[in-house]
Structures are given as structure tokens and as C-alpha cells.
Amino acid sequence: MLSDFSEKIQGLFKKFRNYGKLTDKEIEEICRDIRLLFLESDIALSATKKIVEEIRNRLKTLEFTTETSPGTVVSNIVREELINLLGKPGSIDFSEKPSVIMMVGIQGSGKTTTSAKIANYFATKENKKPLLVGADVRRPAAQLQLEKLSKQIKVPFFTDKDPFSAFEGALKLAKSNGYDLIIVDTAGRTHVDEELLGELKLLNERFKPNNNVLVIDSMMGQEATKVAKAFFETIPLTGAVLTKFDGDARGGAAFSLREVTGIPLIFLGVGEKIQNIEKFDPVRVVNRIIGMGDIEGLIERVSDIKVDISKKPPEEIQKWNFDTFLESMRQIRKMGPLEELLSMIPGFSNIKQMKDMIPDEKQMKRIEAVMLSMTPMERKRPEIIDASRKRRIAKGSGTSIQEVNQLLKQYEMFKKMFKSKNLKKGFKLPNFPIGRI
């Protein structure tokens, strides 16, 4: 996740760390590098200029002591400025009964999916009673898409033949049925389509939603400023959601949006599953961008899954066996792709070699197959596995004897590693074999 940016910016900082003190020439060099880096990250040109100017001013007045390396100082300045630019996270206003969220944006930004995600978020986390409204009558099957999603998350759905009657009907329905949150999914429209922007304006004037949320794709380029501006000038936006943040796009659009409109970001879309939505946190986003990890996100992810305490692996390494391995592996996999989880660990993106050590989903499945092909006794006491048992396990799991051997070897190494005195007490690693088999 965002590792490309991380690597580059870390590389930049490594260069700075060699300097004792910054000269004018060095400041210019740093500013040029940062500028290119930001532009390559699709941060708007205007925002880039502004932020580089801030950084330049701060660098000029800096006095370095012998204790602090300019690299650290510069990295902190860039971090601070990025966080400043992103501003404080926004929120959904619930002061009205029912409260209404009108979702707007260009085609393909992810409005329909995000509508369902937000409904699910408030229904499960804040005990709200949402109603999803399909007001996109343009894209074929858009209403059906939202209806299907609403069934998945068990939230009521309403639609009608045009956006105005859908909106009106939904408001009536909410009053009679006691829904306290109406989420209206509107049709995607380009920011140059005056006719459709006009429709949005009319919808806003007539129904006055207390939340107008812009959905914006994190892969978007320089165009983001124009999109944000056009929607901002059409209706009073109250916040934004940045979607598809689970890819490797740097989310430059977030910075553009803030710079142009000043509206806050509320949520981040971080995956294809309906629960893959997170509250926006500028510190987390910037930290993740510049490779300082996202421990909070990791903790949130972990606390979201229900870990069966009774199946918790034993503290003492001696008692570990393939049963506990299997169980831990399954619990970790519940949290999402391993690579994604590991990228949230601070400093992880710096260790390039580590990336090659992470087994991907396919390999995890193979490892799991090998373990599942063992008898319960073999899982409890791996030392009884002899050549003939290995042959059977390999056959049963559709792998090779070499792969079975490798897993057993890794298991031994892993046990040894934990026995070694060098490890501090309380140090914990994910308890499953890391490595390719």
C-alpha cells in the first residue's frame, strides 16, 4: 500500500541525512525533488507549489544543531505540512431527523458501493436506522446494484422512476418508518455537464440535504481540482470520501480537494468488501504515504474480527504445534491480505527484502493444505512425521515432499528462533511460518 511513494520519499530523506547543514543550493535541490515527488503522486500543481513554498520558507529559517540530522528535520517538516494541508477530518451531521446524505461525484468514482458502505458503517457501529435510496436512473442497473447491496447488509432500500420522486418518497418513508439516516445515491455526472449539474442544484434546493458528500477516486490526477471545484460551486459540499485507497495510488486527489474547496474528508474506502471503510485520519494517511506505518489501522482491523480466546495459541513456545499454527494463520487471514496488514507496520515498507518473504494468498493456501493433510496426531507432534508420512501428506495436499520438508524445517527454525536468548521477553511475532514454500 502506497509503498512506491514511501520508498521514494525515504530515498530522498536518506540523501538529506548525508548533509551536515543546508545551503541555499541544497534547499533548492530538496524543493525540486519534493515538487517532482508530489507531482508524480498526482497532488495538484497548485497545491504542490503552495506546500513546497511553505517547506522552502521553513528550511530557510532552520538552524541545525549537531544532534539533529537535517534529514529527520526535513522529513518532519514535509510530514507536518502534508498533515496541515489535509486538515481535520469531517463528520456526518445528524442534527436533523431524518438526516440526509446526498452522494455525488463523477462516473466510476464509487458512489453506489460507498453509499452501501456508509449505511453499513452507521447501522453496525453507531446503531442508526439507515435507508438507502437509488436515485441513479441513468446507468443501467445502478438501482439494482444498490438494492442488491442493501439486501446484503440488511438495510431497507427505496427507489422511484426519477431522482426527485425517489428523494421525496424516501423522506416520507423515513418519517413513517422511523429511519434516521437517508443515503441518496445519485447518478454519476461529469463536472462539465451543465445540465446534470443543474439537476443536482435543483435536488439540493428542493430537499436541502444536511450532508452533501463528494465521492472522489484516489487514483484521480490533476483533474481532481476541477472536479472538486465544479461540484463545490454547484452545491454546498459538506465532506468527501476518498475511494479505492487500497491500491497503490498516492491519493493526491485528497490534497487537491482540500486545497481547492477546503471541505474535509470524512471516510476512506479501503477495499471491495462492504466493511472496508475507515474514518479519515490525516495523520494516518500521511504516515502511511511516507512509510511510517499505520498501527491504528492495524489495531482497528484486528479488533474488528472476533478472535476466539479459547483458541489462543499457548504463550510457551514449547507447546506450539501445527494445530496452533493453523489456528493463528486462519485468524490472521480473516483480517485481510497479509501484505496489506504488514504494510501497516511502521518501517516495514523500508525493508525491501521482507517483501519477498511474505507468502501470498496462494502460498498461504498451500501451507494450509499441507497442514490439513496431516493427521491430528501429526499436527500435535510433528516430530513423528517420517518419510512415508511425508509422502502421504504431499499426495494428500497436492504439493511435493520438498514443500512438506520446507514447512517442517521452517517450523523447527521458528521454534529455535523463539527459544534463543536474544529475544526479549514479551516480544511477539505473528505465530505462523513466514517464508515461501
Partner 1 sequence: MFLFDKVKEALTRTRRVFSSVVGMDSVNWDEILEKFLLVDVGSDIAQEIIKDAKKRWLSAAPIEIALKEAIESFLPEGKPQLFFTNEHPCVWLLVGVNGSGKTTTCAKLAKYAIEEFKASPLLVAADTFRAAAIDQLKIWGEKLNIDVISQKENSDPAAVVFDGLKAGRSRKRNPIIVDTAGRLHTKDNLMEELKKINRVIGKEIEGEPSEILLVLDASTGLNAVKQAEVFNQSLKITGIILTKLDSSAKGGYVLNITKKFNIPVKFIGVGEGVDDLVPFDKTQYAEGLIP
Binding site for partner 1 (CB under 8 A): 1, 4, 36, 39-42, 45, 106-110, 138-142, 144-149, 152, 190-193, 217, 219-224, 226-227, 244, 246-250, 252-253, 272, 337, 339, 360-362
Measured distance CA(190)–CA(199) in Å, rounded: 12
Tell the smallest beta-carbon distance from residue 269 to partner 1 (Å).
Answer: 10
CB 84, CB 169: distance < 8 Å = no
Q: Which of 256, 264, 290 lies closest to 47 in space, CA to CA? A: 256
Burial pattern 20-53, b for ≥16 Cβ within 10 A else e, equals eebeeebbeebeebbbebbbebbbbeebbeebbe
Residue ranges of the alpha helices (H) in 235-360?
252-261, 282-289, 295-304, 322-334, 338-342, 352-357
DSSP three-state, residue 266: strand
The number of C-alpha atoms within 13 Å of 336 and in the hemisphere containing its C-beta is 22
For residue 212, list its beta bridge partners: 102
Tell me the residue type at 318.
Q
Cell numbers linked to 270: 479501503
Give the residue with the Cβ less far from partner 1, 22 or 103.
103
Q: Which is nearer to partner 1, 139 or 201 (CB)?
A: 139
CA angle at 32 for the pair 349 and 247, rounded to the nearest 5°: 35
Is the Cβ–Cβ distance between 212 and 204 less than 8 Å? yes
HSE-up of 276 (CA within 13 Å, CB side)?
A: 19
Cell of 248: 497503490
- DSSP type of residue 85: H
Type of residue found at 81: E
What is the residue whose three cell numbers read 472476533?
Answer: 306
Smaller CB distance to partner 1: residue 40 or 308?
Answer: 40
* Distance set, CA 194 to CA 6, 201, 231, 233 (Å): 39, 10, 11, 12
